[in-house]
Structure 1
Amino acid sequence: NPVEWKVQEQDFFVKTYPFILGADVAGYVEDVGEGVTHVQKGQRVMGYCIGLGVNDPAFGGFQLYPTLFASLVCPIPDSLSFDEAAVAPLAMTTAAVNLYHRSHLGLPLPSLNPQPSGKAILVWGGSSSVGSTAIQLSVASGLEVISTASKLNHSLVKSVGATTVLDYKSPTIVQDVVSVLSGRELVGIFDAISEPESMRPVSEILDQVGSHKVGLVVPPTIELSKNFIPTLSLAFEILNNDESKVLNHIWQEFLPESIRRGSFQLQPPPVIVGKGLGDIQQGLDKLRSGVSGQKFIVHV
Structure 2
Amino acid sequence: MPSNRAAYQPGQKAPSLEVQDAPYTSAEADKIVVKNGAVAINPIDWLIQSRGDIMFTHLVYPFVLGSDVAGEVVEVGKNVTRFKVGDRVVGFTRGTDQKINDPAEGGFQLYTVLRPNLVSHIPEKVTYESAAVIPLGLATAAAGLFEDTELALDLPSEPAKPSNGKTLIVWGGSTSVGVNAIQLGVAAGYEVFTTGSPKNHGYLKSLGASQVFDYKSPTVTADMSKALKGKFTAGALSIGQGAAEKCMEILNKSNGNKFIAMASFPVPQKEPQSMIFFRTVIFFVSWMISFKVKGLFRGVKSNLLNAGMITNSGVAKAIFVDYLPKALAAGTFTPAPKTDVVGHGLEHIQNAFNTQKKGVSASKIVVTL
- The answer, yes or no, to whether TM exceeds 0.5 is yes
Q: Mapping of 1:115-264 within 5 angstroms?
A: 115-191=162-238, 193-196=239-242, 198-209=243-254, 212-221=258-267, 222=287, 223-224=290-291, 225-226=294-295, 227=298, 229-240=301-312, 243-244=313-314, 246-264=315-333
- Distance change >3 Å, CA 59–CA 14, structure 1 → 2: farther
Q: Is this contact kept in 2: 1:275–1:299, CA < 8 A?
A: yes
- Once the two structures are superposed, residues 171-195 of structure 1 have per-residue CA deviations (whole angstroms, 9 ceiling, x without a partner) of 211212221222211111112x332
What SS does the corresponding residue of 1:146 show, helix, strand or coil?
strand
Q: Is this contact kept in 2: 1:174–1:201, CA < 8 A?
A: yes
Larger deviation: 153-162 or 126-135? 126-135
Q: Structure 1 residue 38 and structure 2 residue 110: aligned?
A: no
- Once the two structures are superposed, residues 237-259 of structure 1 have per-residue CA deviations (whole angstroms, 9 ceiling, x without a partner) of 1123xx32x22221111111111
Structure with more strand by fraction? 2
- Once the two structures are superposed, residues 230-288 of structure 1 have per-residue CA deviations (whole angstroms, 9 ceiling, x without a partner) of 32221121123xx32x2222111111111111111111210101222222122222222
Match of 1:3 among 44, 52, 58: 44
Q: Is this contact kept in 2: 1:3–1:218, CA < 8 A?
A: no
Q: Distance in 2 between matches of 1:127 and 1:97?
A: 18
- Distance change >3 Å, CA 81–CA 248, structure 1 → 2: same
Pairwise CA RMSD of aligned residues?
1.9
* Count of matched residue pairs: 295
Matched AA of 1:160: L
Cα deviation, residue 15, structure 1? 1.1
Cα deviation, residue 37, structure 1? 1.9
Structure with more helix by fraction? 1
Q: Distance in 1 between matches of 2:121 and 2:227?
A: 39
Q: Distance in 1 between matches of 2:357 and 2:220?
A: 24
With the length of structure 2 as denominator, give the TM-score of the two structures: 0.75
What SS does the corresponding residue of 2:334 show, helix, strand or coil?
coil
Match of 1:106 among 152, 165, 172: 152
Larger deviation: 280-289 or 82-91? 280-289
Aligned position for 1:68: 114
Q: Structure 1 residue 271 and structure 2 residue 343: aligned?
A: no
What SS does the corresponding residue of 1:186 show, helix, strand or coil?
strand
Larger deviation: 224-233 or 62-71? 224-233
Cα deviation, residue 14, structure 1? 4.2
- Distance change >3 Å, CA 181–CA 199, structure 1 → 2: same
Cα deviation, residue 145, structure 1? 0.3
- Once the two structures are superposed, residues 88-147 of structure 1 have per-residue CA deviations (whole angstroms, 9 ceiling, x without a partner) of 111221111111111111111112231111111100111222111111111111111000
Q: Distance in 1 between matches of 2:50 and 2:169?
A: 29
Q: Distance in 2 between matches of 1:212 and 1:7?
A: 33
Aligned position for 2:55: 12
Q: Distance in 2 between matches of 1:166 and 1:88?
A: 24
Q: Is this contact kept in 2: 1:14–1:52, CA < 8 A?
A: no
Q: Distance in 1 between matches of 2:353 and 2:237?
A: 24
Gaps of 5+ in 2: 1-41, 268-286
Larger deviation: 224-233 or 168-177? 224-233
Q: Is this contact kept in 2: 1:52–1:236, CA < 8 A?
A: no
Q: Is this contact kept in 1: 2:105–2:113, CA < 8 A?
A: yes
Q: Is this contact kept in 2: 1:25–1:49, CA < 8 A?
A: yes
Gaps of 5+ in 1: none
Using the aligned pairs only, state the percent identity: 39
Matched AA of 1:86: A
Aligned position for 2:103: 57
What SS does the corresponding residue of 2:266 show, helix, strand or coil?
coil
With the length of structure 1 as denominator, give the TM-score of the two structures: 0.91
Q: Distance in 1 between matches of 2:48 and 2:251?
A: 28
What SS does the corresponding residue of 2:74 show, helix, strand or coil?
coil
Larger deviation: 22-31 or 209-218? 209-218
